[in-house]
Amino acid sequence: MERNIRFLIAYDGTDFHGWQKQPEMRTVQDVVEQAARRVIRHQVGLNAAGRTDAGVHAAGQQANFETTCEIPLINLQRAIGSRLPKDVSLLHVSEVPLGFRCSHDAVSKLYRYRIYNSARRPVQEHLQRYSYHFWNDLDTTRMQEAANRLVGTHDFAGFASKGSERETTVRTILRADVFRRYDEVFVDVEGTGFLYNQVRNIVGTLLEIGRGHWPPKRIDEILAARDRGLAGPTAPARGLCLQWVQYDLQRPPGWKGLGGKPAPDKTDAAEQP
């Protein structure tokens, strides 16, 4: 009997060349597929919720594949998980309806960007692999005021890096939160889908606003002009983490993505926030 298996995966992206399998490169997709193939005994092609870029981490990446393998889920998790390298963890294995795809059927995703905001280096707390060290003082109130202007459905061309194909640059941001914990500043962005480097470009812009270079209304100007040159620099990959992906498995059969119509694969090059 054919089954559709879904993985919940966490990984440290530092030593990976991103999620997507590439020739002669160490990628997360490749090492997970290799481990699964050794257990299931056939080729595995994972369909992931998002193609995280090189150096980007994940606490809740999800990916699925179809198989006729009859191994119980708990045994699959143990057998495959034990064959993964130390910087990848298989957190959970579940069975989902046939036709479900982690890319198309995602309702929303949350990316978190971590900033170490101190004159001290983050190495003392062993955070240098997972946060961006930004030593200038940041005003999180200004950053939050700017982030509020991102919420809603907008044309985010001004926050998209070149080098990816997309049918439209219109995306929906459900929430954007900026908050501080001691020496760390976090930027949480939840949306229904993202453009290439969109979150990292948003963070780079918020940093310029937080340090006092630009007013919060700069966000409105970037959105209106659709000009990437008006936005801030692309924040480094190491501070970004895919926290979770949300699904609605009660959708009727044949539903394909947001809007109830066939959608382009959310794992294409445009989805590398």
Active site members:
53
The angle formed by the CA atoms of residues 133, 138 and 142, to the nearest 5 degrees, is: 140
* 267: amino acid identity, one letter: T
Nearest in space to 28 (alpha carbons), one of 5, 49, 2: 49
The beta strands (E) that lie in the chain are given as 3-11, 47-48, 57-67, 88-96, 106-116, 132-133, 152-155, 170-181, 184-191, 240-247
75 phi and psi, to 5 degrees?
A: -70, -35
DSSP code at position 163: S
Residue 230 CA to residue 62 CA, distance in Å, equals 34
SS3 state of residue 177: strand
Distance in angstroms (rounded) separating the CA atoms of residues 72 and 88: 21
Q: How many angstroms separate the CA atoms of 135 and 273, rounded?
A: 23
